[in-house]
Amino acid sequence: MLDAVVIGGGISGLAAAYGLRRRGYRVTVLERQAHIGGNAVSERLDGFLMEHGPSTVNAGAPVATGLSRELGLDPERCDLGAGVRRRYLVSRGALCGISVHPLGFLCSDYLSLGARLRLAAEVAMPRGGGEETVAAFCARRFGAEFAARVIDPLVGGIYAARASEVSVAALFPKLVELERRHGSVLGGILRRRRHGATMPGSRLFSWRGGIGALPRALARRLGETVQTGVTVRRIEWRRHGFRLDLGAAGGIDARTVLIATQPHVAARLLDGIDGPAAAAAAGIDAPPLAVVFLGFRRQDVDHPLDGLGFLAAEDERRTLNGAQFCSTMFAGRAPEGHVAVAGYFGGAREPGLGAASADELIAFARREFRDLIGAHGQPLVARVRHWPLGLPQYRLGHQDRVAALVDASGRQPGIFLTGNYFSGPSVAACVAEAAEAAARIDRFLGGRGNVPIALPNTSGSRHPIAGVGEIEFGERQVSA
Ligand SMILES: Cc1cc2nc3c(=O)[nH]c(=O)nc-3n(C[C@H](O)[C@H](O)[C@H](O)COP(=O)(O)OP(=O)(O)OC[C@H]3O[C@@H](n4cnc5c(N)ncnc54)[C@H](O)[C@@H]3O)c2cc1C
């Protein structure tokens, strides 16, 4: 009998399995697809590098940066390129550049003078109470215009969500904490900056080969521990642990099970063994999302592309939520003399767009990039990645759902969960949550002490690692 089976070979499952193997436990990771990594897929296309899912990691997150170091990935690490000088927001059909300085908004005319004065008055606003949406919290503290013109695009572009639907306490607990502790978000940030803290999300990094480098490095350390192409269909409770039904692949027994899948799969697996947890997971939806990657000759794009990309407020009525200037963000993402951009469609704003056909999405993206950055030539590369289940929505009541899921191990000892619907969808949040899950399982199994064992780098591992031709994209194929 294994000590633990991890269901799901995305970043969460792999990072948790790594934490358990480092403690010397006998672990198996079972991944449904033919490749590991889940959302984290980097693909080379004629000298361009496309990120199908995540493209950046927060450099201020200690667990993620520690993992990069520990896995020997630091020599491959790349920070944001020097060309990233601004953030862009769509304003009345054109891009408006805002300095990355914290006072950027006060100095730009993206917001009306009244809105900028209202923003500065945040320090004097009274505290609120009760569960609020991100939109309500930000309108109350920073003013309605800032909420609609800055927070709405941020939440739409980064979290594929609607600020008027998601819970501020669940998605941005630090904002709520700053208000609670300091009476003001801006006041709290300024105080923390004086003590050397940086703005959240202000430092981002990746690796030369893209984000796919992280699951690849984890899988190399885990070696034969990882099995791909194996779908877990059911979990059954047994006297001393659990039996996992793998369909035609048979069954596997383990003392503990860590469910590291998307929430809808967790709901199915928990059905019959923990009703409250199954209901909580089923209550977390993830609307379809699509990424359109386009590569152009440099001379075919007018804009200097001197930023991370741009975000669009919902009232701008664009088809895309936001875009990244991939070749400015990191070196080596486009061949010499070329540029790469990626547009993000769908999510909670317009789920139907996330499920539109590849041809339609490419046409939408070309129109948007022509109008907003003057991309007038024919793209050399056009690739679409559909995510039929995109990012989990942290809607009102999310914290109660998470509490019901965390309690699963109390009601059903030996069952644990991790993933991107607990403490944030970012890669950094996933690896931190996964490390916590590994620690909880370690405590349940009796604890193996704190002296981690070294895991060899098994570069000849037999399971496939995402690469063109090997990728089976689940529900829908990538299409150009
Ligand atoms: C388009 C997009 C852009 C993003 N951009 C960023 C970004 O720039 N920065 C950032 O920090 N984050 C970003 N994110 C978020 C981040 O990538 C994800 O939240 C994170 O990678 C999720 O990892 P995970 O392991 O929890 O889940 P997943 O990656 O979804 O992995 C779950 C795995 O479980 C497997 N599985 C499912 N069912 C079964 C079963 N029955 N049996 C066995 N295996 C099963 C699946 O095949 C999958 O591999 C982005 C996400 C998307 C979609």
pLDDT for 100 beyond 80: no
Q: Which atom of ligand 1 has the smallest separation from the CA of 231?
A: 42
pLDDT for 331 beyond 80: yes
Whether the CB-CB separation of 145 and 114 falls below 8 Å is answered with: yes
Which residue out of 14, 31, 39 has the highest number of ligand 1 atoms within 8 Å of its CB and is therefore the one to mutate? 39
pLDDT of residue 109: 87
Structure tokens at 462: 């037999």
Sign, CA dihedral 165-167-170-172, equals positive
Lowest mean pLDDT among 42-51, 81-90, 251-260: 81-90
Predicted model pTM? 0.93
CA of 51 to the centre of ligand 1 (A): 13
CA atoms within 13 A on the CB side of 244: 26
CA of 215 to the centre of ligand 1 (A): 11
Residue with the larger pLDDT of the pair 460 and 139: 139
pLDDT for 466 beyond 70: no
Q: Beta-carbon neighbour count of residue 445 at 10 Å? A: 16
305 CB-near residues (< 8 Å, 6+ apart): 83, 325, 327, 328, 339, 341, 373
**159-184 pLDDT per residue, tens:** 999 999 999 999 999 999 999 999 99
pLDDT for 464 beyond 70: no
Whether the CB-CB separation of 241 and 3 falls below 8 Å is answered with: no
Which residue is associated with the tokens 């450099």? 59
Q: Which atom of ligand 1 has the smallest separation from the CA of 265?
A: 38
Average confidence score pLDDT of the chain: 91
Which residue out of 49, 50, 261, 264 has the highest number of ligand 1 atoms within 8 Å of its CB and is therefore the one to mutate? 261
Q: Which atom of ligand 1 has the smallest separation from the CA of 11?
A: 25
CA of 343 to the centre of ligand 1 (A): 19
Domains annotated on the chain, with CATH: 2-42+68-74+209-284+395-444 (3.50.50.60), 105-201 (1.10.3110.10)
**46-78 pLDDT per residue, tens:** 999 999 999 999 999 999 999 999 999 999 999
CA of 13 to the centre of ligand 1 (A): 10
Q: In this structure, what are the phi and psi dihedrals at residue 420, rounded to the nearest 5 degrees?
A: -85, 10
Confidence band of 108 (pLDDT split at 50, 70, 90): confident
Q: Which atom of ligand 1 has the smallest separation from the CA of 269?
A: 41
CA of 38 to the centre of ligand 1 (A): 5
Structure tokens at 414: 């030996």
Residues with a CB atom less than 6 Å from ligand 1: 7-13, 30-33, 38-40, 53-57, 231-232, 260-262, 265, 289, 291, 387, 390-391, 419-420, 425-428, 430
Look at ligand 1, atom 53, and give the residue with the nearest C-alpha: 53
pLDDT for 268 beyond 60: yes
Look at ligand 1, atom 2, and give the residue with the nearest C-alpha: 53
CA of 93 to the centre of ligand 1 (A): 33
Look at ligand 1, atom 35, and give the residue with the nearest C-alpha: 8
H-helix or E-strand containing 13?
A: helix 11-22
CA of 95 to the centre of ligand 1 (A): 31
Q: Which atom of ligand 1 has the smallest separation from the CA of 37?
A: 49
Q: Which residues of 262-276 are buried (b: 16+ CB within 10 A; e: fewer)?
A: bbebbbbbbbebbee
pLDDT for 446 beyond 80: yes
- Full strand arrangement of the beta sheet holding 86-91: 94-99, 86-91, 307-311, 320-324, 338-346, 289-297, 381-387
Look at ligand 1, atom 1, and give the residue with the nearest C-alpha: 53
Look at ligand 1, atom 6, and give the residue with the nearest C-alpha: 54
Cα 477 to its chain centre, rounded Å, is 21
Structure tokens at 437: 């899950």
pLDDT for 104 beyond 90: no
Burial of 250 (0-12, 13-18, 19+ CB in 10 A): exposed
Whether the CB-CB separation of 463 and 472 falls below 8 Å is answered with: no
Rounded Cα distance, 198 and 231, in Å: 42
CA of 370 to the centre of ligand 1 (A): 31
CA of 20 to the centre of ligand 1 (A): 20
Sign, CA dihedral 453-458-463-466, equals positive
